Structure 1
Amino acid sequence: MSLSVSSNHSDSSDDSESDRGVGLSDPTLSQARRRMLDLVNRLHSTGVQIDIDLPQIAVIGIQSAGKSSLIESISGITLPRAAGTCTRCPTECRLSRSDAPWKCIVELRIIADKNGQPLGQAHTLAFGEPISDKSAVEDRIRRAQRAILNPNKPPRSFLDDFEDDATEISFSTNYISLDISGPEVADLSFVDLPGLIASVSRGGNERDIAMVENLVTSYISKPSCVILLTVACETDFENQGAHHLTKKYDPEGVLTKPDRIPRGDEENWLPLIRNEQEPLENNWYCVKQPSSQDIKQGITWEEARSRENDFFSLTSPWSELDPLYQKYLRTSNLIDRLSSILSDLISKRLPQIQIELENTIQKTRNTLAQLPKPPSSDPVGEIAALLHSFVTELHKILEGVPKADGLLQVIRPAQEQFRRAIRATAPDFVPFESEEHREGCARFPDPDFLFHEDGDISDLDNSSHTPIFIDQVLDRALAARTRELPGHYPFVVQKSFIAEFTNKWENPAMILCRFVHKTLAVHVKALITVHFSSFGQGSLEQRVMILVQDYMKQRADAAQALIAKLIWLEEDGPLTLNEHYLADYKEKFLNDYKSAREKAQHPALAAAIEAYRRTPSPPQLPTGITQIVAGLASMGLRGINVNDLVKLLPPDRMDPALNIMADVRAYFQVAYKRIADNIPLAIDHELVRGVGRELLPALYRGLGINGPDGVRICRELAQESPSVAGKREELLKRLERLESASRELVTVGL
């Protein structure tokens, strides 16, 4: 929102001893309006306008448009004057009514560095002692502006006798804050912005023009800003860039310097007062301020208002305006309207301000909570506690947690994959001659009893396996004979077949170990981040990460060494004390192999035996197998089982090979189950559980916190990063501002 005003001359000072209030300090204003103005002024005092859009009046216009004179009529102080642009940084006036004697506190608000880059947190610097004499304000403001425009020099040096007017920069976003209080002062905040530079020829350069325009826009673009646009009548309306800049923000317009309108041109300005040209929501106003000569002669505020009234009452065409438009002339009418607009805006904005404050406070607290904890006063104790907490949590993970993504749950599929990989190395014995069955015989099917032990293994990868036919087994046995008696074969044959599959076990075992190591590293890294990432500048997290990774590497090396030893034990030669299981497996495999050969060599007998087995009860007419069993019984061979009938067949020349095959295959089952348990057990002992053993002492040694330099090391590790410290400081100051503003709202019952 904006209000446009036209003024007569440059700035005016009011040092009168009048008992009447100056401008908006007029005691005739309603108490409700004064309370709202006072509340917003107190909110401005907290500095919360950095975070929340607070209602404020911003006075803008082109150079020499009479802004300062207008401000003087409101604030009752004298502003610096100079040819061209005299305001080169914003000047914020925070007015508050008080029963105490009049005083003015001048502060510098630094919101950008010397290069113009915004600071995360504004800095407030007191600029001299409080002023109790109004006549001293102008000089203090002039010195404060020079301090802001010379950012590389100590601000305090400009309080001394500093006559050098040279400046390092031409304009600044840093601003002067005037905190004025006293019996004749209103509760109000407004800011005087640098005058917009019309062109390079009017005393600026392209950079200055753009900088001032951006500065003004940063204020007037806020929704709760009441834009007080001053337009000097001595210059063509269309040539005043401030009007074009504010059109989209709904300004409040004021025409200044009506006495400088060239004779005969007054009618060009009256359509604005009638709101017929460039219409505004609250109409255009016109004011006349004292001339430079009047100011030098010490004109009082009352005298200025009296002369202004005479001008509009006696000077044509202003005096001839319809009474309907007379209310848009004179400073007093402007001030009344400005006060009404501002108070109405405040009353509408306050409920929303409270909501925004609460939301911003909560958001700021949440952001603070996400920051690392501030440095501890006992870094040694805190680091020790962090290490113990980390190791305790790690032990829980290593022992197992009931979660789908727990370490042991993630490892288990890899262990099963390892078991299946070992199972897939079983020798593919085929109880048939190669010449007769090589075609289409990729592998001999496993017997049914293995399904109950190993589960469904039909999908095992056997692509690299070569079937071992029974005649090949016999050939190897015959080739190995030395001094054995006929029908006997050396045990080295079985050992050679056993070595062929045990030599394949190391690779899948090492793959499992590497997978467990990698998986463990992921879980441990995540745990380290949780426990140490918020401590200090991250050095502790980094050092713990390196130490734990090194320790895990040692444990992984120990696990691989143990795996290699277990594999070597298998490769040394077959050995088992599970004689019962070995014998049982051999019998089962031997029966399976022989049964397959018998079916192939004597299909009729095999079919008859199978049919007999499937018959629920012996047939009434003794035929086939029943007749044979009955005949044998009649000869005194009672107790003959149907399975014994195959013994009546002539000997199989491949019986030695069948025995070798059954031996090897039975031993594989015993050794495979042993290695399928021992390898995961070794990895669990040396690597998984091994990481938890002696880790805490290793961390203490590696960090050196128990050594002679332990205190120094812990202090260095506990140092907070400057960025985090700066962010925390910024958030704490913001929270302080917001909570202070919230308390102000509570005091008035909002």
Structure 2
Amino acid sequence: MSTLALAAPYSDSDSTTSSGSDPENDHGGVGLSDPQLSQGRRRMLDLVNRLHNTGVQIDIDLPQIAVIGSQSAGKSSLIESISGITLPRASGTCTRCPTECRLSRSDSPWKCVVELRFITDKNGQTLGQARNEPFGEAIYNKSEVEDRIRRAQRAILNPSKGVRSFLEGDADEDEAPEVSFSTNYISLQISGPEVGDLSFVDLPGLIASVSRGGNERDIAMVESLVTSYISKPSCVILLTVACETDFENQGAHHLTKKYDPEGKRTIGVLTKPDRIPRGEEENWLPLIRNEQEPLENNWYCVKQPSSQDLKQGITWEGARARENDFFTMTQPWCDIDPMYQKYLRTSNLVERLSKILSDLISKRLPQIQIELETAVQKARDSLKQLPKPPSDDPVAEVAALLHGFVTELDKLIEGIPRAEELLQVIRPAQERFRREIRNTAPDFRPFDQSDSDQSTFSDPGFLSNEDGIVLEEVEVPSLEPPIYINQVMDRAVAARTRELPGHYPFVVQKSFIQEFKAKWQAPATILCRFVHNALSRHVKALISDHFAHFGQGALAQRVTILVQDHMKQRAEVSQDLITKLISLEEGGPFTLNEHYLADYKAKFLAHYKGAREGARNPALAGAINRFKTNGAEEDVNGYATGVSQVLRGLASIGLKGVNADDLAKLLSVDRMDPALNIMSDVRAYFQVAYKRVADNIPLAIDHELVRGIGEDILTVLYGGLGLNDADAVRICKEFAQESPSVAGKREELSKRLERLETASRELMRVGI
């Protein structure tokens, strides 16, 4: 669509007779046709017209003037007076597509070139760049224009038929068109010595109601078409209102108020003033005086030839003279205050329109350049965000995607130094597993179950130093029930068969060991399941990142299934290995780390004996504890403590390796010593086995599941996708087929970019 600027009067000869004109400023032209205006300003109008040719008005708000009005509001007569041509006439709605008039002053003879401007295809889809199609040869006789326009409109309304058939054939006026209205438009390029440098677009008249010759669908289509123009901030609205109809009943006025409520860009035109019922003329004067429905650019009143005048062959010069005579000699128009005379007559309206459009173009062009640059960059960025379009080698493209995915999968498996990545998520679960295994340790108590004072017993300090879980032991206390020394002794006695007195079978230790090992399978299975789920989530996200935007999603879906199946197999292998490792532990106690086991047994035996003897002989226990706390410091009497003396004495006879804890062994034999030995054996072996399992189970899961998923994954994908088959090309083409939504978005953005870049080149060509 083109800028809507209105043309200069068809004849300058009677402009001096129009009230409100300024003879001192009459230089042979008005508005943009004024020779005193800079050639640069006139070139800007041509530039805006060329921008309209590109169709970029869909994306950018271009300056234009739109002529709107209700049916029979006098739009056609007004346009005829401005352009000097005759438009098709018919009852009801005649204009069914926009008609653009580009008027330019020229020293050459009068000429009219008719073109069809298509901004949508036959299906109504927006074209990338507007298509301009000439409609016949240039016209040099004004009388031929009306028929050419009529034929052009029928070509617009029948998009599936050839344009030439409407240009050359006999138009069947009774044949129903394919579409009632169209956004594609007719462009008239009119030039001549009596034509002003202006342009405008005439829009279909708004249909008042179904009873006025329309249907609900047509009413809505016309209103939508008009709205698409007048809703833009740079559109000057030329509102035509027929004086023969009540003002409030004219829908065009109400629609204009909706989109220009303050009247800043609306110019009102009263038509058919000669049809005002006698005595009601005064009702329209408040509009001319801008007292009613005020507009920033005021209301104007024009009188055009009647249908009877046209039938009688009135000339345009005669029509202009009659209009001037009407306002000069007819009341109340001739009596209106001189300051409002400038709002009467077509010549004054055109002069005002010319200046408004001129100023608007001057103001908007620098902004249009910025908006175009911004819109071009935005369109390019939006295209970059879309997936790559299908390539000519889909097999290579799919292969590249698979290799890229496998590379990123390897990085994920090896570990990415960032929070919430796979290994960072797995590590807390591994720590929980270790604590759960640690908490299955048998809670041996070196006291009879009936003893009341056990408050001094606690886990040995050497465990916290070695396990590094002091806080964890407090936060997650063992859930195992205490096992008292008398219970251990009862089990040992019950297990005796042919052993000598004081000897008990090893099966007692094995039974305790079996009990805590039987509790390890569940935490190990839970850890495996957790790692499987975490791995599945991260791999699924990785698949989405690599494949979700490729094709219609079939490749992503297929890869997800293949990888999940492969992962499930690896999880089953991992679970089998876990079960095997646990079963190895359950087969019986075993370790080659004899020194480690013996050291722990000695520590636990000393811990249990010390606690038990502390209960049996509190004085000795207290002395040993004080010695361990204060060392060889002197007591309050200045004498060395008893423990210190004993240790010195034992050292003097050669027992130099004895420490304070060993003094408890000098006490009389405890009948529970066999039970203490069993407890120490079991607890020492737990430390050996627990640390072994706490490492081996997570290691097995990492090896078989986490790292295992990366093994042969490329082979699995190639085989599962059929890329090694003879149908690989067909399969990859199907995978690469772009989704309709993405293809549609790409087409839309490409068309928009094409329009914007073409418009941008037009601006650069003229150096604006």
TM-score by length of 1: 0.88
- 2:129 touches 2:755 (CA, 8 Å); kept in 1? no
1:227 to 208, 231, 237: 237
Q: Does 1:448 align with 2:461?
A: yes
**What one-letter code is carried by the residue in structure 1 that aligns with 2:239?**
L
- 1:229 touches 1:252 (CA, 8 Å); kept in 2? yes
Correspondence 1:307-706 to 2 at 5 A: 307-437=322-452, 445-455=458-468, 456=470, 457-459=472-474, 461-462=476-477, 464-613=479-628, 614-617=630-633, 621=639, 624-625=642-643, 639=656, 641=658, 643=660, 644-706=662-724
**What one-letter code is carried by the residue in structure 2 that aligns with 1:451?**
S
Paired residue for 1:9? Answer: none
Give the deviation of 1:554 after TM superposition.
1.1
- 1:87 touches 1:194 (CA, 8 Å); kept in 2? yes
> How has the CA–CA distance of structure 1 residues 707 and 346 changed in structure 2, closer, same or farther, with 3 Å as cutoff?
same
User: d(CA) in 1 for partners of 2:708 and 2:614?
Assistant: 54
Give the deviation of 1:507 after TM superposition.
0.9
> How has the CA–CA distance of structure 1 residues 23 and 617 changed in structure 2, closer, same or farther, with 3 Å as cutoff?
closer
Give the deviation of 1:680 after TM superposition.
0.9
- 1:106 touches 1:176 (CA, 8 Å); kept in 2? yes
Name which of structure 1's ranges 681-690 and 609-618 shifts more when overlaid on structure 2.
609-618
Give the deviation of 1:606 after TM superposition.
2.4
> How has the CA–CA distance of structure 1 residues 641 and 283 changed in structure 2, closer, same or farther, with 3 Å as cutoff?
closer
**What one-letter code is carried by the residue in structure 1 that aligns with 2:74?**
G
**What one-letter code is carried by the residue in structure 1 that aligns with 2:696?**
N
Name which of structure 1's ranges 336-345 and 169-178 shifts more when overlaid on structure 2.
169-178
Name which of structure 1's ranges 255-264 and 357-366 shifts more when overlaid on structure 2.
255-264
User: d(CA) in 2 for partners of 1:405 and 1:90?
Assistant: 60
> How has the CA–CA distance of structure 1 residues 496 and 262 changed in structure 2, closer, same or farther, with 3 Å as cutoff?
same
Give the deviation of 1:88 after TM superposition.
3.1
Correspondence 1:235-314 to 2 at 5 A: 235-247=245-257, 248=261, 250=263, 251-296=266-311, 298-314=313-329
- 1:92 touches 1:175 (CA, 8 Å); kept in 2? no
Name which of structure 1's ranges 225-234 and 280-289 shifts more when overlaid on structure 2.
280-289
Give the deviation of 1:84 after TM superposition.
2.2
Name which of structure 1's ranges 169-178 and 280-289 shifts more when overlaid on structure 2.
169-178
| CA offsets 1:497-531 (integer angstroms, 9 cap, x no match) | 11111111111111111111111112212211221
Name which of structure 1's ranges 514-523 and 131-140 shifts more when overlaid on structure 2.
131-140
User: d(CA) in 2 for partners of 1:633 and 1:358?
Assistant: 96
Gaps of at least 5 residues in structure 2 are: 12-26
Name which of structure 1's ranges 265-274 and 589-598 shifts more when overlaid on structure 2.
265-274
Give the deviation of 1:169 after TM superposition.
8.0
Name which of structure 1's ranges 496-505 and 597-606 shifts more when overlaid on structure 2.
597-606
1:165 to 174, 190, 193: 174
- 1:13 touches 1:77 (CA, 8 Å); kept in 2? no
> How has the CA–CA distance of structure 1 residues 341 and 86 changed in structure 2, closer, same or farther, with 3 Å as cutoff?
same
Give the deviation of 1:723 after TM superposition.
1.5
Name which of structure 1's ranges 545-554 and 261-270 shifts more when overlaid on structure 2.
261-270
User: d(CA) in 1 for partners of 2:63 and 2:276?
Assistant: 34
Q: Does 1:103 align with 2:113?
A: yes
Q: Does 1:174 align with 2:183?
A: yes
Paired residue for 2:15? Answer: none
Correspondence 1:182-193 to 2 at 5 A: 182=191, 188-193=198-203
User: d(CA) in 1 for partners of 2:69 and 2:647?
Assistant: 126
Report the 3-state secondary structure (helix = DSSP H, G, I; strand = E; otherwise coil) of the residue aligned with 2:116. strand
**What one-letter code is carried by the residue in structure 1 that aligns with 2:632?**
P
- 2:32 touches 2:355 (CA, 8 Å); kept in 1? no
Name which of structure 1's ranges 126-135 and 722-731 shifts more when overlaid on structure 2.
126-135
- 1:498 touches 1:664 (CA, 8 Å); kept in 2? yes
User: d(CA) in 2 for partners of 1:647 and 1:741?
Assistant: 102
Identity of aligned residues (%): 69
Paired residue for 1:720? Answer: 738
Give the deviation of 1:463 after TM superposition.
5.9
> How has the CA–CA distance of structure 1 residues 207 and 712 changed in structure 2, closer, same or farther, with 3 Å as cutoff?
closer
> How has the CA–CA distance of structure 1 residues 603 and 68 changed in structure 2, closer, same or farther, with 3 Å as cutoff?
same
**What one-letter code is carried by the residue in structure 1 that aligns with 2:686?**
F
- 1:197 touches 1:209 (CA, 8 Å); kept in 2? yes
**What one-letter code is carried by the residue in structure 1 that aligns with 2:614?**
K
Give the deviation of 1:222 after TM superposition.
2.2
Paired residue for 1:58? Answer: 66
Q: Does 1:733 align with 2:736?
A: no
Paired residue for 2:16? Answer: none
Give the deviation of 1:128 after TM superposition.
6.6
Correspondence 1:18-97 to 2 at 5 A: 26=33, 28=35, 30=37, 31-94=39-102
| CA offsets 1:443-463 (integer angstroms, 9 cap, x no match) | 952211000111214236446
Give the deviation of 1:168 after TM superposition.
6.7
User: d(CA) in 2 for partners of 1:731 and 1:96?
Assistant: 35
- 1:41 touches 1:187 (CA, 8 Å); kept in 2? no
Give the deviation of 1:740 after TM superposition.
2.2
- 1:272 touches 1:284 (CA, 8 Å); kept in 2? yes
Report the 3-state secondary structure (helix = DSSP H, G, I; strand = E; otherwise coil) of the residue aligned with 1:468. strand
Name which of structure 1's ranges 545-554 and 227-236 shifts more when overlaid on structure 2.
227-236
> How has the CA–CA distance of structure 1 residues 121 and 485 changed in structure 2, closer, same or farther, with 3 Å as cutoff?
farther
**What one-letter code is carried by the residue in structure 2 that aligns with 1:616?**
A
User: d(CA) in 2 for partners of 1:268 and 1:640?
Assistant: 127
User: d(CA) in 1 for partners of 2:402 and 2:651?
Assistant: 83
- 2:99 touches 2:188 (CA, 8 Å); kept in 1? no
Report the 3-state secondary structure (helix = DSSP H, G, I; strand = E; otherwise coil) of the residue aligned with 1:68. helix
> How has the CA–CA distance of structure 1 residues 459 and 187 changed in structure 2, closer, same or farther, with 3 Å as cutoff?
farther
User: d(CA) in 2 for partners of 1:276 and 1:128?
Assistant: 47
| CA offsets 1:200-248 (integer angstroms, 9 cap, x no match) | 4433455544554444334223221111111223334344333343342
- 1:127 touches 1:156 (CA, 8 Å); kept in 2? no
User: d(CA) in 2 for partners of 1:530 and 1:35?
Assistant: 51
> How has the CA–CA distance of structure 1 residues 521 and 360 changed in structure 2, closer, same or farther, with 3 Å as cutoff?
same
Name which of structure 1's ranges 342-351 and 160-169 shifts more when overlaid on structure 2.
160-169
User: d(CA) in 2 for partners of 1:44 and 1:388?
Assistant: 49
User: d(CA) in 1 for partners of 2:741 and 2:239?
Assistant: 41
Give the deviation of 1:106 after TM superposition.
1.5
> How has the CA–CA distance of structure 1 residues 182 and 704 changed in structure 2, closer, same or farther, with 3 Å as cutoff?
farther
- 2:54 touches 2:758 (CA, 8 Å); kept in 1? yes
User: d(CA) in 2 for partners of 1:279 and 1:347?
Assistant: 26
Paired residue for 2:138? Answer: 132
> How has the CA–CA distance of structure 1 residues 429 and 623 changed in structure 2, closer, same or farther, with 3 Å as cutoff?
closer
- 2:101 touches 2:187 (CA, 8 Å); kept in 1? yes
- 1:131 touches 1:137 (CA, 8 Å); kept in 2? no
Name which of structure 1's ranges 78-87 and 173-182 shifts more when overlaid on structure 2.
173-182
| CA offsets 1:105-148 (integer angstroms, 9 cap, x no match) | 1234438967xxxx566785666744422655434443454455
Q: Does 1:217 align with 2:227?
A: yes
> How has the CA–CA distance of structure 1 residues 592 and 680 changed in structure 2, closer, same or farther, with 3 Å as cutoff?
same
- 1:98 touches 1:181 (CA, 8 Å); kept in 2? no
Equivalent pairs counted in the alignment come to 730
